[in-house]
A and B are shown apart, each in its own frame.
Chain A
Amino acid sequence: MNTLSWSFLDILLVIALVLLAGAALRARSLRQSIILFIAFGLVTALVWARLRAPDVALAEAAIGAGLTGALLLTALRNRPSEESRLVSNNGMRWGGRWGNVAITVSVSLVALGIGWAVLYGMNDTQSGRLAGQVGSALELSGVSNPVTAVLLNFRAYDTLLELAVLLAALLGILSLGGGRATHCTVDPIATSLRGWLVPLLILTAGYQLWVGAHAPGGAFQAGALLAAAGVVQHLAGRAHAGLPVGAVLRVLMVSGIGIFMTMGLWTFLGGRGFLAYPQRWAGELILLIELFATLAIAVTLILCYLGSEPERRRITPAGSKP
């Protein structure tokens, strides 16, 4: 294990991370803490890139900072006034000041323990980690990007369940129904941006999807970018953010897992075991799955942002209030 000297950049990033997190949690107003949280997300993306995890950096930037930020800001915008900073606590406070001190002390003790264990664990890292196995089995997986191989072939079942988690969250949000996103003014900057930003986003999403097979990228990053395109559409006044309505929308929502399941059942009934792609066609099958997964993720994330299914009737194109 060569001594990996940490450079000045690492110190900077670490300090930035911790400061931003602390500031986000203790900011006076909600708006400030959300803005700080988005900044924290971007710095995290930088850290992932520094730690040689490009796929994760892309996903963090698009989903972690981008979309979560958008969701938080919408939640903030629907809130009529600022003073609701300290809304009635819902029983999660632990007995006033002494509670705070006790919690802080105990949490920091546990953290020290884990830190010491990390220190102890890190140094004798056996080389027997799964990286070796992934490397040797990579050429069987049909893709050359190891992360995509793990995501869509070796641990495809995890990704299947993760898409189910996304669908579950969406169904939960839709079942809550309730208030239409009451955004009023159409953002002039967004309308002007819409002209060229949306096609660019769609293009990069397509590129991300394609390049995922042999370089950092993949279904999640592409899906997030498509969702970003939808968000911009919505800000520019399109009430249903470019989404189809009714049955087509529902089919799109389930298309990601649907393809995964049909593939899995087809191989399972073929006697090869669930999701065991035939080695010759693995690459193409993975691309097919990723295509539909991207669409499904994009539709799901946009609907989470909208908060409910868009109405059926199309609004007039003049960007008037829906």
Chain B
Amino acid sequence: MIDTGVLYGLTGVALAAMGFRATLLEPEVIRKLLAINIMGVGIFLLMIATAYTGPDTAADPVLHALVLTGIVVAVSATALGLALERRRRDKDGS
């Protein structure tokens, strides 16, 4: 039966799938980076959904710490990707 955790978990899986598909198919580099970020959010949603154990009890802090680390890692990767994209366009002057 569907409860809140499973609902968000399935949404997370859906987002991850959308992100994965878009990363492969989008030609534009910046859109690829967006897609990877969306995929990341999808997986983090899956993790936080598993951490959610009800409105009153405390959620699993380990997963929260992992997602926090994941967010910081994602932003640093995106920053590097954008810098590479900028350098690539400066090179060919487009």
Contacts and interface: CB of A to CB of B under 8 A. Distances in A.
A108 interface: yes
A248 interface: no
Residue in B58, B60, B83 with the greatest tally of chain A CB atoms within 10 Å: B83
B30 A75 contact: yes
Residue in B8, B38, B64 with the greatest tally of chain A CB atoms within 10 Å: B64
A317 B83 CA distance: 29
A122 B7 CA distance: 10
Contacts of B72: 59, 63, 162, 165-166, 220, 297
Interface string A29-65: 0100110010011001001100111011001100110
A67 B18 CA distance: 23
A179 B69 contact: no
A74 B2 CA distance: 42
A53 B51 contact: yes
Interface stretch (A4-12, A189-197, A202-210, A233-241): A4-12
A110 interface: yes
A165 B94 contact: no
Interface residues of A, number: 99
A4 B54 contact: yes
A108 B17 contact: yes
Those 6 A-B pairs whose CB atoms lie nearest each other, nearest first: A89-B27, A169-B76, A146-B61, A111-B17, A304-B79, A150-B65
Contacts of B83: 172-173, 176, 304, 307
A307 B4 CA distance: 41
Nearest to A303: B79
B13 A51 contact: no
A114 B6 CA distance: 12
Contacts of A131: 53, 58-62
B76 A22 contact: no
A245 interface: no
A67 B72 CA distance: 11
Contact of A25 (B4, B22, B76): B22
Interface residues of B, number: 78
B64 to A, nearest CB: 5
A173 B28 CA distance: 20
A288 B82 CA distance: 33
Interface of A: 1-6, 10, 14, 17-18, 21-22, 24-25, 30, 33-34, 37, 40-41, 44, 47-48, 51-53, 55-56, 59-60, 63-64, 67-68, 71-72, 74-76, 78-79, 84-90, 92-94, 99-100, 103-104, 107-108, 110-111, 114-115, 118-119, 121-123, 125, 129-131, 134-135, 146-147, 149-151, 154-155, 158-159, 162, 165-166, 168-170, 172-173, 176, 178-179, 220, 297, 300-301, 304-305, 307
A207 to B, nearest CB: 18
Contacts of B7: 6, 10, 14
A257 to B, nearest CB: 13
B27 A107 contact: no
B27 A151 contact: no
A125 B4 CA distance: 14
Contact of B46 (A86, A94, A118): A118
A9 to B, nearest CB: 10
Contacts of A305: 79
Contact of B55 (A4, A149, A155): A4
A92 B32 contact: yes
Contacts of B60: 129-131, 134
Interface in B11-68: 11, 13-35, 37-38, 41, 44-46, 48-55, 58-62, 64-68
Residue in A111, A119, A159, A179 with the greatest tally of chain B CB atoms within 10 Å: A111
B31 A25 contact: yes
Given A10-B8, A118-B9, A64 B41 contact: yes
Nearest to B11: A14
